[in-house]
Amino acid sequence: MRHRHTLAAAGILLTAGIGAMIPAGATTTPARSTSVRATALVVDARWGGHATFDRLVIDVRGALPPVTVRPVDVLRHDGSGQKVPLAGKYFLEIRLSPAAAHDAAGHSVHQGPRLLKIHLPALKGVALTGDFEGVVTIGAAFDTKPAYKTFRLHSPERFVVDIAHPVGCRA
């Protein structure tokens, strides 16, 4: 009986050893496409006031990449880490990646503001805070804690942040 267990264990180890010796290139899974997807270009950031909300729209040329929106205590420039001089008590950081706000030659394609104070009921400022290592970051400033919702629109591609405010637009 002991001999059988030894043979079974040897067979398992031999099988595992043979599997470990198969070259990585010899897999049977289909090869992935080698086509390179063009990087999304962030070309504009614009805003508008409405009766019950302010809207921030980020225009993108190409496929809209994944976007994250998160509240932060302070806005900082990507790369340098320097504080963004945008007035406000509350801030949202909007990150698009993979994306760029410049072309292959390094020239800016972003037509929106670099740093701008805005006088809407909720939205008080917008800044392009980063175009660094495949990540474009835009910051938004508010005097009160923002209640917001986000969504995507297509044809043309754009990312939208709606920020609620009391009824009555002062734009």
The per-residue pLDDT for range 39-63, each reduced to its tens digit, is 899 999 999 999 999 999 999 999 9
106/5 Cα distance (integer angstroms): 67
> Quick check: 30 pLDDT over 80?
no
Confidence band for 170, pLDDT divided at 50, 70 and 90:
low
Chain position carrying tokens 């005097």: 143
Contact residues for 130 (Cβ-Cβ < 8 A; gap 6+): 77, 78, 79, 136, 137
128/44 Cα distance (integer angstroms): 10
Q: What burial letters (b/e) apply to 105-120, b meaning 16+ CB within 10 Å?
A: eeeeebebbeeeebeb
94/21 Cα distance (integer angstroms): 47
The more confidently predicted of residues 72 and 3 is 72
| pLDDT given at position 27 | 35
